[in-house]
Amino acid sequence: MSIKIALAGNPNCGKTTLFNGLTGSNQFVGNWPGVTVEKKEGKLKGNKDVYIMDLPGIYSLSPYTLEEVVARNYLIKERPDAILNIVDGTNLERNLYLSTQLMELGIPVLMAVNMMDIVKKNGDQIDIKALSRKLGCPVVEISALKGTGIMEAAVQAVELAQNGRIGAPVHTFSADVEAVLDEIERSLSNDIPEAQKRFYAVKLFERDDKIASGMTMVPDVENLIKHTEEALGDDSESIITNERYNYITSIIKSCYTKKRKGKLSASDKIDHIVTNRWLALPIFAVIMWFVYYVSVSTVGDWATTWANDGVFGDGWHLFGIGTAAYEEAAEEYAVEAAKIEAYIAAASEQGIDASVFEAEEPDEAGIAAFEEAAGAAGVEAVAEIEDEEGNITASIPVAVSDFAAAMEAEEPEPASYGVWVPGVPVIIGNFLEAVDCADWLSSLILDGIIAGVGAVLGFVPQMLVLFIFLAFLESCGYMARVAFIMDRIFRKFGLSGKSFIPMLIGTGCGVPGVMASRTIENDRDRKMTIITTTFIPCGAKLPIIALFAGAVFNGTSWVAPSAYFVGIAAIICSGIILKKTNMFAGDPAPFVMELPAYHMPTISNVLRSMWERGWSFIKKAGTIILLSTIVLWFMMSYGWVDGSFRALEAEQLNSSILASIGSLIAPLFAPLGWGDWKAAVAAVTGLIAKENVVGTFGILYGFGEVAEDGAEIWGNLASSFTVASGYSFLVFNLLCAPCFAAIGAIKREMNNGKWTWFAIGYQTILAYAVSLCVYQVGTSVIERTLGIGTAVAAALIALFIYLLLRPYKESRSLKLDGKAGTIV
């Protein structure tokens, strides 16, 4: 028979790391029945009959958020065969609160004290045997990060589940409270299992409405509770909380010895710097600049260039074998080509007919006639050789004999040097040609699917580099500090630090980011967080950022990091503006978050996190984007010409269905600087999936060719944008309504059609206004001109400043004890 073991513990206690260590690749992710909270389940390594359930992190069994409700309902209703309670050894006192509650559920519990390597490194001591006696359950030491003792803990939990041995709670409350609990237990119906009666009694004493609503018969115990509250001078929930902490304090005194009293730990020393009131934000800005610089402008760019020009281009030299020799030959040929170009130009200036060179393959007789005429006229030229920056490095005189010799030179083929691996378009193109594939099908595959999907997949290396950095920052504990840092800022603008958690998750994908907003108890704050979360660039937006940073801005390092901070600025400004409306007025919810000790993440955990995010992106490329590229290819390849609907030639692209649709919506974006139908279509297809923006450009600018040179396609793109219009396009796609999947998540979380439309409308209007200001002001500064667009942008900026600075409508001032105060 199968055995179910639930992993329960506080957030940041190492539960997910332990889950990954116990299950490896034998895990599957879904949603809990009836809710969209993520459900992680897996099979124990080496034992397919043991199922491990990774419950959402919770602080207690008195739930406030949906995650906490899900975790408690599973433990109470599903009743796993055993609970593996993970406790952070560096924060033992706080973690034990949940442990005392788990012991009351009537389920076998094994406590695993995690991070024991850090505890020992700090010189602290935990008496495991004494802790076991005090709690009434077996206790083991583990280090989930290093994998120490985790399998042994799992085996012991399995044995505990097989034996069905339930550890009765050792601790008792005060005599007055115990008397009331005993009386409540006796009043419970037989529907409640004997082993769970104490848990239900405690919850009824605490007036837990959620527990009471799930019972078939609820005894009337209100008079008993009121009598106890009057006797002890406190409310029932506080009485139980105080009793638990009194018990936990006694455990800490007898089981835990802290050696370094009064000394700061390494984490505390680091936090003095990275969470400093003045240094925190500059440090965060520098870290994120470095992350995006490496991901987009250096390492990630090198890898993406290889993917675009190699895997989805002509091909590449395996391990670089032959690259140096080919580049040397290519440089030599470039000199000969420069001689030819210079000589033809000089001969043309002297009136010699050079039209023979306008053909793709000039005939030999025509070349000979040109050489004879040029030689007779004594034509001489100077070929100027330039480096990559356009600087002239050499000037070479060219006579007719030099021209004739240059014409004999052959352009080197990279495949002739070293070990050459052909790219995907080349391989598939050769195959389609070999099987005599129909022209329309060949065009669909090469100009549609490979050009579109390949353009998107070409940016996967950059995304993986970014995800590695983000996984490292999350795993080492720094991102938890960022939430703490952002709380200081967000609170001033009407949001709490809890709002940053969904935004942090949203850097991978907007869908789980929106779903993570349910951890916010305050409904107003939760709605505002849902509306603003997708402003943070998600993984799907990174290819757009990388594409424009490389193609339009020549790899300038500030472009990619600025996209991240544009998102944060949009969130902060939206918080200020929306909080001053009646819909969102009120104080932000309090923010309490565990700051885990800094530690070096394991390579396996970082790579796993990177792959989970990256694989989600790749799956989109193989499904949604694949279908989108097929539809786009059809709409681009067919249209009406001379009154008939038919397949189009490359030069007839402006007559396509896609061009007709794009031309209708393009004027809407003309004030933003990109009124061309191609850019308009790309922006709209981004609603299906943001990756589609790059895929659409890949098809449109690679149409009519086999996408052999990715750089050439993006060069064509760059010629369609100026610096101002390019950044305007980038900002619009960062801030406008997200993809359909994220919009669906917004609809589920809002659970209201009007609020969903409000969110979409606000995001789109803000994106349009900001993009318009970027283009109009940018163009005015660069070209030093003023126009109607500049005046409109100035008016929008003035309105924006007014909305930011205006006082709260619902605020009123009073005097309290002679001092001015404000009540909202």
> Was 249 annotated as part of a binding site?
no
> Was 114 annotated as part of a binding site?
yes
> Cβ distance 530 to 760 under 8 Å?
no
Give the tens place of pLDDT for each residue, 463-515: 788 888 888 888 888 877 887 787 777 766 666 667 777 777 777 777 777 87
Same domain for 225 and 368: no
Q: Which amino acid is at 423?
A: G
Residue 5 pairs in a beta bridge with: 52, 82
Judge whether residue 714 has pLDDT over 70.
no
Domain contains 224: yes
> Was 33 annotated as part of a binding site?
no
> Was 246 annotated as part of a binding site?
no
> Was 305 annotated as part of a binding site?
no
Percentage of residues of the chain with pLDDT beyond 70? 89
Same domain for 206 and 145: no
> Was 695 annotated as part of a binding site?
no
Q: What is the predicted pLDDT for the residue at 450?
A: 83
Q: What is the predicted pLDDT for the residue at 30?
A: 56
> Was 436 annotated as part of a binding site?
no
> Was 13 annotated as part of a binding site?
yes
Confidence tier at 761 by pLDDT (50, 70, 90): very high
Confidence tier at 822 by pLDDT (50, 70, 90): very low
Task: Check which CATH number belongs to the domain holding 181 and give it.
Answer: 1.10.287.1770
Q: Mean pLDDT check: name the lowest of 226-235, 252-261, 368-377.
A: 252-261
Q: What value does the mean pLDDT of the chain take?
A: 82
Q: What is the predicted pLDDT for the residue at 343?
A: 92
Same domain for 138 and 188: no
Q: What is the predicted pLDDT for the residue at 821?
A: 36
Same domain for 101 and 124: yes
Q: What is the predicted pLDDT for the residue at 539?
A: 78
Judge whether residue 819 has pLDDT over 60.
no
Between 518 and 751, residue with greater pLDDT: 751
Q: Mean pLDDT check: name the lowest of 19-33, 290-304, 618-632, 758-772.
A: 19-33
- Could you tell me the two tokens for 625? 């984007």
Confidence tier at 710 by pLDDT (50, 70, 90): very low
Same domain for 143 and 26: yes
> Was 622 annotated as part of a binding site?
no
Angle between helices 559-579 and 478-492 (to 10 degrees): 40
Give the tens place of pLDDT for each residue, 404-442: 999 989 889 888 998 999 988 889 989 998 998 888 888
- Averaged over 614-632, what is the pLDDT? 77
Q: What is the predicted pLDDT for the residue at 820?
A: 36
Q: How many domains does the chain have?
A: 3
> Was 43 annotated as part of a binding site?
no
Confidence tier at 809 by pLDDT (50, 70, 90): low
Task: Check which CATH number belongs to the domain holding 20 and give it.
Answer: 3.40.50.300
Q: Which of 384, 401, 416 is the last residue of a domain?
A: 416
The three-state DSSP-derived secondary structure of 178-220 is: HHHHHHHHHHCCCCCCHHHHHHHHHHHHCCCHHHHHCCCCCCC
> Was 100 annotated as part of a binding site?
no
Same domain for 154 and 251: no
Spatial distance between the Cα atoms of 342 and 344, rounded to a whole number of angstroms: 6
Q: What is the predicted pLDDT for the residue at 541?
A: 87
Q: Mean pLDDT check: name the lowest of 135-139, 146-150, 215-219.
A: 215-219
Spatial distance between the Cα atoms of 772 and 194, rounded to a whole number of angstroms: 68
Confidence tier at 643 by pLDDT (50, 70, 90): confident
Q: What is the predicted pLDDT for the residue at 810?
A: 45
Domain contains 756: no
Query: Which 3 state secondary structure label does DSSP give 250?
Result: helix
- Could you tell me the two tokens for 706? 């086999």
Strand blocks (E) in 258-329: 315-317
Domain contains 72: yes
> Was 36 annotated as part of a binding site?
yes
Q: Which of 163, 191, 207 is the last residue of a domain?
A: 163
Q: What is the predicted pLDDT for the residue at 807?
A: 72
Q: Which of 133, 163, 193 is the last residue of a domain?
A: 163
> Was 14 annotated as part of a binding site?
yes
Same domain for 123 and 47: yes
Give the tens place of pLDDT for each residue, 164-184: 777 666 677 888 888 888 888
pTM: 0.67
- Averaged over 618-633, what is the pLDDT? 77
> Was 733 annotated as part of a binding site?
no
Q: Mean pLDDT check: name the lowest of 36-50, 89-103, 709-723.
A: 709-723
Q: In residues, how long is the chain? A: 824
> Was 726 annotated as part of a binding site?
no
Confidence tier at 770 by pLDDT (50, 70, 90): very high
Domain contains 559: no
Say which DSSP state 11 is in: T
Judge whether residue 534 has pLDDT over 70.
yes
Q: What is the predicted pLDDT for the residue at 523?
A: 76
> Was 57 annotated as part of a binding site?
yes
Domain contains 338: yes
> Was 10 annotated as part of a binding site?
yes
Give the tens place of pLDDT for each residue, 329-362: 998 999 999 999 999 999 999 889 888 888 878 8
The three-state DSSP-derived secondary structure of 663-675 is: HHHHHHHHHHCCC
Domain contains 767: no
Domain contains 538: no
> Was 20 annotated as part of a binding site?
yes
Distance (Å) of CA 805 to CA 580, 772, 808: 10, 21, 9
Same domain for 153 and 92: yes
Q: Mean pLDDT check: name the lowest of 215-229, 642-656, 716-730.
A: 642-656
Domain contains 262: no
> Was 123 annotated as part of a binding site?
no
Same domain for 190 and 245: yes
Same domain for 249 and 377: no
- Could you tell me the two tokens for 743? 């919009």
> Was 215 annotated as part of a binding site?
no
- The boundaries of the domain holding residue 186 are 175-257
Judge whether residue 516 has pLDDT over 60.
yes
Same domain for 136 and 26: yes
Confidence tier at 110 by pLDDT (50, 70, 90): very high
> Cβ distance 551 to 711 under 8 Å?
no
Q: What is the predicted pLDDT for the residue at 215?
A: 81
Judge whether residue 789 has pLDDT over 90.
no
